[in-house]
């Protein structure tokens, strides 16, 4: 039976700088690419956004942050035109400020 120790046997022969670069490389491999939006999707998201603000409905917002997509479920508190950010209050009363250009999807939800 072969008793291979995997990465353990190679780390003693590597410099700490090399180990750090390999760990960063593995972490960067998990990054997601940003999706391009077409005009129809943007118009649909705009209609959903207006409806959610007008009728005070819960929404699910998918947005791009730190090279990954994140999801927030909550109500839109207000739109800050100066900073171009949506202020969203989630179900646990946590406040989120989401830049409008980072939003990938907005959907109405029932909670």
User: What pLDDT score does 50 carry?
Assistant: 92
pTM of the complete model: 0.74
User: What pLDDT score does 111 carry?
Assistant: 73
Q: How big is the chain, counted in residues?
A: 111
pLDDT band at 6 (very low <50, low <70, confident <90, very high): low
Average pLDDT of the segment spanning 101-109: 93
pLDDT band at 37 (very low <50, low <70, confident <90, very high): confident
Average pLDDT of the segment spanning 71-87: 93
Instruction: Give the CA-trace dihedral at 67, 97, 72, 31, to 10 degrees.
Output: 0
Could you tell me which CATH class the domain 39-108 is placed in?
mainly beta
Looking at per-residue confidence, does 77 or 1 come out higher? Answer: 77
The counts of H helices and E strands in the chain are: 3, 5
User: What pLDDT score does 18 carry?
Assistant: 84
CA count, 13 A, side-chain hemisphere, 7: 3
């Amino acid at each position: 039976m072969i008793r291979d120790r995997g990465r353990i046997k190679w780390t003693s022969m590597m410099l700490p700088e090399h180990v750090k670069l390999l760990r960063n490389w593995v972490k960067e491999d998990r990054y997601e690419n940003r999706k391009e939006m077409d005009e129809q999707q943007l118009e649909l998201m705009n209609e959903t956004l207006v409806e959610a603000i007008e009728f005070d409905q819960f929404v699910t917002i998918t947005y791009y942050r730190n090279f990954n997509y994140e999801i927030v479920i909550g109500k839109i508190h207000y739109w800050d035109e100066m900073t171009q950010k949506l202020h969203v209050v989630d179900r646990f009363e946590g406040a989120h400020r989401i830049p409008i250009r980072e939003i990938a999807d907005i959907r109405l939800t029932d909670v």
